[in-house]
Amino acid sequence: MPPQSRNLCHVCHENESKYTCAKCRATVYCSVGCYKRHKESCGCTENPAVIPEERQAVPSSPSDVVGEEETLDDPKQLRSLTSLNWPYVPEESAYPDPLKRDDPRPVQLHQYEAIATSAAVRRAL
pLDDT tens across 41-75, in order?
776 655 444 445 544 555 555 555 555 556 666 77
pLDDT at 34 over 80: yes
Alpha carbon of 29 to those of 1, 14, 38, 76: distances in Å? Answer: 26, 10, 8, 47
Half-sphere exposure of 37 (CA within 13 A, CB side): 13
